[in-house]
Amino acid sequence: MAHVLIVEARFYAHLNDLLLEGARAAIEAAGHSHETLTVPGALEVPGAIAFAAETGQYDAYVGLGIVIRGETYHFEIVSNESARGLMALTLDGLAVGNGILTVENEAQALARVRPTEKDKGGEAAKAALAMLDLKERFGVK
């Protein structure tokens, strides 16, 4: 049984609740345990995962959050850098599922976070578990 850390950027609480619901359900359905850690925003998700990885307590990680386009360039920075940070962790050997959504508006976010629709939280959790399976298959520590 794997122990998974879900790191969520809780900027849009009502949307994050749905992402978390999907992620937790997918992890539990696969027979694994999980914990949730909340950080201020999407840019903090990769750093929190890196800190947690140093403890050796977790087998896989799920990063969750929602970035909605605004009127400034900040959207691009947050979207690109959070994705880059999660990818760097993956390339460093961690099993990470990226569930940080980058959308144009709340309607797009709702369609993606609802477990009854696109269930991106569940998909991110399944991706993390799939990467964990690959690590084990290839004997990566």
104 annotated ligand-binding residue = no
CATH homologous superfamily of 3-18+29-138 equals Lumazine/riboflavin synthase (3.40.50.960)
Is residue 74 annotated as a catalytic residue, yes or no?
yes
Give the model confidence (pLDDT) of 11-38 as tens digits.
Answer: 899 999 999 999 999 999 999 999 999 9
Question: Where residue 40 falls among pLDDT bands split at 50, 70, 90?
Answer: very high
Question: What would the two tokens of residue 36 be?
Answer: 């949730």
Q: Which of 3, 14, 34, 74 is catalytic?
A: 74
The candidate with the shortest Cα–Cα distance to 14, out of 68, 91, 55, 81, is 68
End-to-end CA separation in angstroms for the chain: 16
| Helices assigned H by DSSP within 30-105 | 45-53, 74-91
Which range has the worst mean pLDDT, 39-43, 52-56, 72-76?
A: 72-76
Report, as an integer, the average pLDDT of 45-56: 98
42 annotated ligand-binding residue = yes
pLDDT at 73: 82
Report, as an integer, the average pLDDT of 88-106: 97
> What is this structure's pTM?
0.97
The candidate with the shortest Cα–Cα distance to 4, out of 28, 38, 39, 22, is 28
110 annotated ligand-binding residue = no
Residue type, 4: V
Q: Please, what is the average pLDDT of the chain?
A: 96
- DSSP, collapsed to helix, strand or coil, labels residue 121 as helix
